[in-house]
Amino acid sequence: MADGLKNIAGTSGSVTIGGKEYRLTQWTPELIGEVEDHIVNSRPSGIVKAKEACGALGSDGKPLFSPEEQQFMISEAIRLAPMANHSCSDEEQKAFLATYEGTCFLFWRVARTHQPEVNSLKKARELFADVSEEEMVLLELDLVRASGMEALGNSPSQTQETETAPE
C-alpha cells in the first residue's frame, strides 16, 4: 500500500556550478539534525558573551565592571551554561537555510557523498564565490526540491500567506 511517505525524504538531484554538475543526496532526518546542530553550535555561548562584557571599557578607557562584578558575571555564565537552549525552532532553521551561509552548509552536506572534493563548508563557500544571483536562486530551488518539503507544502521558499476563496 502506498502511503506517500517516501516523498518526505525528497529526491536526489543535481545542480550545476561553474559548468560542473554536482549530484545531491536526499535529505534525511540526520541531515535536518545536522542543520539544527550547526545552528545551535554557531550561537555565541553565554561564557563568551560574559567575557566580552567584562572587557568592555567606558569612554574614559577604564573597565565598566569591577573585578568582583566581572568574576560574578563569569561565574554565573558558567553556572547557567548547562541550561542553555540546545535546540532551534523550525522558523530558525528556515531562516538559516534561506541565507547564503545556510545554502552553503546544506550544499556541502548533500553533495559530499557523491563528490568527495566537497569535503568542508569552506570548500562549498569557495564553489559559490563566483555564482551569480540567478544561479544561486536555481541552486536554492534544487536544494529545496531535494528536501521533499515542497511536496509537503513546507518549503522554506513558500510564503505563509494563503488566498481565501471568494464568497
Residue 65 scores a pLDDT above 90: yes
Mean pLDDT within 77-103: 86
Q: What's the mean per-residue pLDDT of the chain?
A: 79
State how far the Cα of 167 lies from the Cα of 165, in Å rounded to an integer.
Answer: 6
Cell matching residue 10: 525528497
C-alpha to C-alpha distances, 50 to 29, 54, 78, 131, 143, nearest whole angstrom: 34, 6, 9, 39, 38
Residue 15 scores a pLDDT above 90: no
Contact criterion met (CB below 8 Å) for 142 and 24:
yes
More confident residue, 156 or 15: 15
State how far the Cα of 33 lies from the Cα of 67, in Å rounded to an integer.
Answer: 41
The string of pLDDT tens digits covering residues 22-58 is 888 888 888 888 999 999 888 888 888 899 898 998 8
Domain ranges of the chain: 11-39+87-152, 46-83
Residue 8 scores a pLDDT above 70: no
Mean pLDDT within 64-93: 87
Q: Phi and psi of 143, rounded to 5°?
A: -65, -40
From 74-88, 119-133, 136-150, the region with the lowest mean pLDDT: 136-150
Mean pLDDT within 59-67: 92
The string of pLDDT tens digits covering residues 132-167 is 888 888 888 777 776 655 544 444 444 333 334 444
Question: Radius of gyration over alpha carbons of the chain, in Å?
Answer: 21
Q: Is the torsion defined by CA of 99, 100, 101, 106 positive or negative?
A: positive
